[in-house]
Amino acid sequence: MNILNLEGTEDTPKILLDKQNKVFELSGRSLPEDSAEFFQPVLDWLEQYKDNPNDDTPFLFKLEYFNTASSKLILDILSKLEEVEGANVVWFFHEDDEDMEEAGEEFSELVDVPFDFKTY
């Protein structure tokens, strides 16, 4: 399966989805002008991946900041992960960033995917 690899910019996150090397990661800042358009490739990738996933899929969110329009798309990604057997979320937050910790907790309450929380 093809690798989705987007370099991060000052307003879009770094994205790496690589089935073969078992890397599923979204990190950095997310405040794109058009969040639906920006995240569509991620949703498309997961749509294809869910039909033949790895045994486990640890999906790492290591976000420094995301805006409200991105939060809607993050929920869409998480909803897509619900359909991936063996998927779990690893939600990273900076140790003094309570808002990011709380955001992760809220997402974990909205979807049926196991969440692990880690600080960095």
Partner 1 sequence: MKYIYDLHKTMLTKNLILVYEGEFTQEITKSVLAMAERNMDSFGEESGIKRKVFNVMVECLQNICKHSESFNVEVYGKNNAIFMIGKQEDEYFITSGNAILAENVDSMAEKLTNINKLDKDGLKSLYKEIIRNGSLSEKGGAGLGFVDMARKSGKKLVFDFEPINQELAFFSLKTTIPRI
Burial code of 73-107, b = ≥16 C-beta within 10 A, e = fewer?
bbebbbebbeebeebebbbbbeeebeebbebbeeb
The residues in 85-114 that bind partner 1, with binding defined as CB under 8 A, are 94, 96-99, 106, 109-110
Closest to partner 1 by CB, 47 vs 106, is: 106
The CB-of-66 to partner 1 minimum distance in angstroms stands at 9
Query: Hey, is 102 helix, strand or coil?
Result: helix
Residues that bind partner 1 (CB under 8 A): 10-11, 31, 33-36, 65, 67-69, 71-72, 75, 94, 96-99, 106, 109-110
